[in-house]
């Protein structure tokens, strides 16, 4: 079993990233047997679809590496690297551009959602973004890829590209990747709007809990989180139509490893004046060791670069046979 997953180096890990994906990555890493391997990469080549200054991008990659290690990714047990350190990603992407079809990319709903009515003003990189994602996956012959609902279509595209390449060139080169949709994957919503995902792009810092927030900031954000005047119900069924309440109960349940029904039973009939301080304490105790480790790691750029260099060397060695075989299948002499 070979698992691959990537994350955009946004420079700031927040609670939504951590509970939605990173905790599951750590769990997978810890449960892997000796014959399996996890590859986790920072998708800095994907990030160029949005303009960002040189120094900011470098800082973001290092900070995200520090955040992942602080959250529990072990660079000795898993392969942790940034995309740009492994040129094979870009090389295979170009080869696969000859296999992928414009019609397939035109159907990608994420591209449509992001560009809206400004399709002509969007970058080509944003349009072919899913081909690079396919290269990321197929390069390592990943057998499994953790995905959320918004990425399932891109994984299907990777399978289509792999199938067409194998068929066109009469080879059995690329593995068909299967999705991993963790049963306990949490969808964390904004603290200001229970219908919107928690996001770094939200202009209000009060909408999210950042990895760098201190204990007081976490408590303040939880206490000011949007709620409704109704008390908590006896079961989670009673949270229907109450997105903000449902979000806070879901966060509490995820952090404590309990069900929303169990959380509701404990706080049934109580208002958020009682619930929010309890949630804040759970958040503080969970995030404090991660924050402290992150702040320690991010001050040592040399150590972070050494981690990424080591991971990149391992990734490049794993990718090289696949890339070489793809060139050979296409009759491209190197």
Query: CA 286 to CA 188: how far, in whole Å?
Result: 16
Query: CA 334 to CA 95: how far, in whole Å?
Result: 13
Catalytic entry in 112, 164, 183, 197: 197
Catalytic entry in 164, 200, 226, 310: 200
35 — phi, psi (to 5°)? -95, 0
Known catalytic residue: 197? Answer: yes
Collect all residues with Cβ–Cβ distance below 8 Å to 315 and sequence separation of at least 6: 39, 41, 79, 81, 85, 86, 140
User: Where do runs of H (alpha helix) occur along the chain?
Assistant: 15-17, 23-31, 54-71, 88-97, 102-106, 109-115, 124-138, 152-168, 215-223, 243-256, 260-267, 272-297, 301-329
Collect all residues with Cβ–Cβ distance below 8 Å to 30 and sequence separation of at least 6: 72
The answer to whether the beta carbons of residues 220 and 205 sit under 8 Å apart is no
| CA distances for 331 relative to 18, 138, 325, 326, angstroms | 44, 19, 10, 9
Residues 104-115: b if buried by 16+ CB within 10 A, e if exposed = beeebeebeeee
The answer to whether the beta carbons of residues 161 and 138 sit under 8 Å apart is yes
Known catalytic residue: 276? Answer: no
Known catalytic residue: 200? Answer: yes
Instruction: Give the residue from 90, 75, 113 showing the smallest Cα distance to 43.
Output: 90
| CA distances for 148 relative to 5, 21, 59, 155, angstroms | 11, 9, 27, 10
The answer to whether the beta carbons of residues 329 and 171 sit under 8 Å apart is yes
Collect all residues with Cβ–Cβ distance below 8 Å to 197 and sequence separation of at least 6: 16, 187, 188, 189, 190
For the annotated catalytic residues, the residue numbers are 114, 197, 200
């Amino acid at each position: 079993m070979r698992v691959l997953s990537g994350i955009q180096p946004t420079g700031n890990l927040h609670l939504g990233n951590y509970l939605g994906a990173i905790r599951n990555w750590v769990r997978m890493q810890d449960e892997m047997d000796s014959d399996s391997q996890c590859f986790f990469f920072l998708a800095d080549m994907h990030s160029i679809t949005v303009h960002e200054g040189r120094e900011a991008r470098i800082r973001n990659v290092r900070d995200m590496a520090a955040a992942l290690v602080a959250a529990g990714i072990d660079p000795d047990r898993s392969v942790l690297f940034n995309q740009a350190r492994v040129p094979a990603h870009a090389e295979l992407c170009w080869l696969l551009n000859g296999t992928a079809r414009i019609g397939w990319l035109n159907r990608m709903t994420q591209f449509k959602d992001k560009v809206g009515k400004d399709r002509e003003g969007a970058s080509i990189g944003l349009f072919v973004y899913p081909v690079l994602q396919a290269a990321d996956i197929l390069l390592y012959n990943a057998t499994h890829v953790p995905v959320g609902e918004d990425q399932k279509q891109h994984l299907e595209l990777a399978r289509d590209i792999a199938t067409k390449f194998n068929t066109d060139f009469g080879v059995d080169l690329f593995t068909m990747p299967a999705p991993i949709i963790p049963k306990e994957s949490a969808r964390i919503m904004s603290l200001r709007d229970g219908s919107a995902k928690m996001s770094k792009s939200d202009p209000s810092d009060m909408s999210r809990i950042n990895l760098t927030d201190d204990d007081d900031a976490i408590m303040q954000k939880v206490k000011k989180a949007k709620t409704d005047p109704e008390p908590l119900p006896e079961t989670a069924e009673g949270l229907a139509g109450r997105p903000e309440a449902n979000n806070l109960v879901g966060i509490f349940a995820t952090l404590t490893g309990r069900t929303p029904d169990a959380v509701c039973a404990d706080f049934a009939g109580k208002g958020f004046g009682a619930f929010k301080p309890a949630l804040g304490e759970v958040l503080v105790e969970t995030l404090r060791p991660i924050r402290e480790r992150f702040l320690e790691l991010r001050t040592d750029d040399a150590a972070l670069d050494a981690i990424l260099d080591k991971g990149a060397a391992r990734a490049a060695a794993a990718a090289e046979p696949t890339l070489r075989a793809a060139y050979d299948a296409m009759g491209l002499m190197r």
